[in-house]
Structure 1
Amino acid sequence: MTNNATRIDPATLASSFAIGQDPASVRARVEALERILERAFMVPGINRPIGLDAIVGLIPVIGDLIGALMGSWLVWEARNLGMSKFQLARMMGNVGFDAALGLVPFVGDAADFMFRSNTRNLRIIKRHLDKHHPSTVTLAG
């Protein structure tokens, strides 16, 4: 049984990082980044997806800082969309909490499986886009 959500087509990925600043391009970019950071690979045996955030997080201290920087890019995209300061603060709180958890040996690595800050932040961005830019809504099938 294959899981289509974990396969990343390179052509689709390249087109997802389009340079455009329109809401549809931003939606495509943040969805692609979240997929890479949280669900890029499937762990054999437990069928649990992991991403670059969890893999890089295995490197003590530096990995967590790199993960926080990658997650901060989602917040930057949200800022460029004109999201409220409350939403941005909430998103930075998610990234900060994930980074702080990651600094605790072993606990932080296990927490990357449970607390997916980038997925939470994508949900916040999608809610904003669905409300303020309804033409960008895509139907998942």
Structure 2
Amino acid sequence: MPRRPQPIGFAFPTGTDAASVRARVVAMERLLERSFTVPGIGTPVGLDALVGLVPVLGDVVTAAMGAYIVWEARNLGLPKWKLARMGANVLFDTAIGAIPLIGDAADIMFRSNSKNLRILLRHLDKHHPHTRVIEG
């Protein structure tokens, strides 16, 4: 049987196992919070800050993307109190982001997706230690 050619670039893991979920959530957080570096400032920003510049629609889109991380956490079986905390982070980020100008600066300062990633990774490291990635 001939081998299928390997795809070029990043293959997005599609499984429901904890390792695949971890890879997806880490990639989503990186996309939302640390995709680009602003020249002169040196601060990494992501789609959350950039798309948030579009009034109303930008905040709705980034809230939905942040809610995806909470949904993945729910599928992994995180306790309800952790899910509530993650949801509150997304809600707070969306509410602050809706304020013109102040919200755009707050998107860079308050990184709800990074906070939610830390909550999820702590859970994974404790309950699914085989998903840990050693970075060198």
Q: TM-score, normalised by structure 1?
A: 0.89
CA distance in 2, matches of 1:55, 1:85: 31
Tell me the equivalent position of 2:51. Answer: 56
Q: After the TM superposition, which segments of 4 or more aligned residues of structure 1 sit over 3 Å from their partners?
A: none
Q: State the structure with more CA Rg.
A: 2
CA distance in 2, matches of 1:115, 1:87: 18
Tell me the equivalent position of 2:126. Answer: 131
Q: What number of residue pairs does the alignment pair up?
A: 129
Aligned with 2:9: secondary structure? Answer: helix
Which structure 2 residues correspond to residues 2-17 of structure 1 after superposition, within 5 A?
11-12=9-10, 15=11, 17=12
User: Identity of aligned pairs, percent?
Assistant: 62
* Higher share in helix: 1
CA distance in 2, matches of 1:41, 1:86: 32
Q: 2:19 aligns with which of 8, 20, 24?
A: 24
Q: CA RMSD in A?
A: 1.0
Q: TM-score, normalised by structure 2?
A: 0.92
Aligned with 1:93: secondary structure? Answer: helix
Supply the AA of the counterpart residue of 2:42.
Answer: N
Supply the AA of the counterpart residue of 1:11.
Answer: G
CA distance in 2, matches of 1:66, 1:33: 13
Q: Which runs of 5+ in 2 are unaligned?
A: 1-7
CA distance in 2, matches of 1:102, 1:62: 11
1:79 CA drift (Å): 0.5
1:140 CA drift (Å): 2.0
1:62 CA drift (Å): 1.3
Supply the AA of the counterpart residue of 1:97.
Answer: F
Supply the AA of the counterpart residue of 2:83.
Answer: L
Which structure 2 residues correspond to residues 104-123 of structure 1 after superposition, within 5 A?
104-123=99-118
